[in-house]
Amino acid sequence: MKVCLDTNIFIVVKNREEGYEYCEKILDAVDEGLLRGIISTIVAAEVLVGFYRNNEVREAKKFVDHIVCTYEVQDVNMEIADIAARLRAKGLKLPDAIIAATAKVAGAVLITKDENLRCNGVEVMSPEDFVNENSI
């Protein structure tokens, strides 16, 4: 099964925020090859901001090395840009629109804690619902 992960999945685990256990299970399932993880380069950039703000350069490099080896990292191409523009025109913020468009093009479930990130043509699930419905 393909899952496209939103930025908040990684941040919730890093900061041990409420519900991190569900996000961690999903990340572990990707690491173990039970799920095929897809992320947009936008997600990578957003996660890296936190590392660099905290001067965690070594951790940033480890994160990049890990996602490059474990995830399908999707650049923004014209198909994604077009879909993202259509979603942006309907009110989504551009980074969210790009992430949702990435999920749509990949044919993946978008997993996010952002309840406002709902759009036509993209299956969106919370980490809790995904874990519970898929027995992860």
Q: Tell me, what's the pLDDT at 116?
A: 80
Helical H runs in 40-117? 41-53, 57-70, 78-89, 94-106
The answer to whether the CB of 106 falls within 8 A of the CB of 1 is no
How far apart are alpha carbons 89 and 72 in whole angstroms? 27
Q: Tell me, what's the pLDDT at 119?
A: 79
Structural domain including 15 reads: 2-134
Q: How many domains does the chain have?
A: 1
Give 35's DSSP letter: S
User: Length of the chain, please?
Assistant: 136
* Helix or strand holding residue 127 (H, E): helix 127-134
Query: Which tens digits make up the pLDDT trace of 56-102?
Result: 999 999 999 999 999 999 999 999 999 999 999 999 999 999 999 99
What is the CATH number for 9?
A: 3.40.50.1010
Distant-in-sequence, close-in-space partners of 43: CB < 8 Å, separation ≥ 6:
5, 6, 7, 10, 99
Q: Tell me, what's the pLDDT at 128?
A: 97
Task: Give percent above pLDDT 70 in the chain.
Answer: 100
